[in-house]
Amino acid sequence: MTDPVEWAGFVLSLAMVYCNIRQIHWGWLLAIVSSALYGFVFWKSQLFGQAALQLMFIAMAAWGWRQWLQGRSQLQAPTVMHANELLPVSSLQRHEWLRVGMATLLAWVLCTVILHQLSDSKVLVLDALITALALLGQYLLGRKKIETWWIWLAVNILTIALMVTQDLWLTAFLYFVFAVLSVVGLNTWRKQNAQ
């Protein structure tokens, strides 16, 4: 029988991704609540990297919500803008790819070392990789970078495999739906960026 907390996280997570695709800022609140619920589910399943990742998601969701509400891009002055001047969808520049790539590699190594020290997980390298890529995806989502959807597609596919190893079938199905929605989000944001 599936845990009711997992069901609640499942439903809120789907609503969150819908809001992200449509650029509805309330998705960040749904991210906070669903992350808290999944933190509990993952902790019980001894997926400590995924549980810790949920805490990071909560913090990054608060940051991302602020970014979207303030409507700033990296090129704009750090002042609060009018509500109708939204943070635009954009692509990473070449120099940004190197920076985020190095940060993600460093995060993967760091997460692997920490998980090795704190747990006896049999899937710690995969758990750490998913954690590092998800942090990158969350950062790019907060900055409204199109590449966020490619990162989330990779995260979702890897997480399906991880959830299956832990018999979290509902969550594995959720990440399958997330993978499909990543493609939808990519196409939606590309069209908006082209306008």
pLDDT value at residue 72: 52
pLDDT value at residue 171: 86
Region of poorest pLDDT, from 12-26, 28-42, 53-67, 108-122: 108-122
Average pLDDT of the segment spanning 15-28: 93
Residue 115 has pLDDT above 90, yes or no: no
With vertex at residue 140, the alpha carbon angle to CA 136 and CA 144, rounded to the nearest 5 degrees, is 170
SS3 90: strand
Q: Alpha helix locations (H) across 73-168?
A: 94-118, 124-142, 148-165
pLDDT, tens digit, 9 for 90 and up, residues 41-95: 988 887 777 788 899 889 999 999 998 888 754 444 444 444 335 788 899 998 8
Query: What tokens appear for 179 in the block?
Result: 């993978």
Q: What is the mean pLDDT of the chain?
A: 87
Residue 31 has pLDDT above 60, yes or no: yes
pLDDT value at residue 47: 77
Return the higher-pLDDT residue of 96 and 85: 96
pLDDT value at residue 28: 94
Query: What tokens appear for 91 in the block?
Result: 């692509």
pLDDT value at residue 87: 82
pLDDT value at residue 170: 86
Query: What tokens appear for 12 in the block?
Result: 């809120």
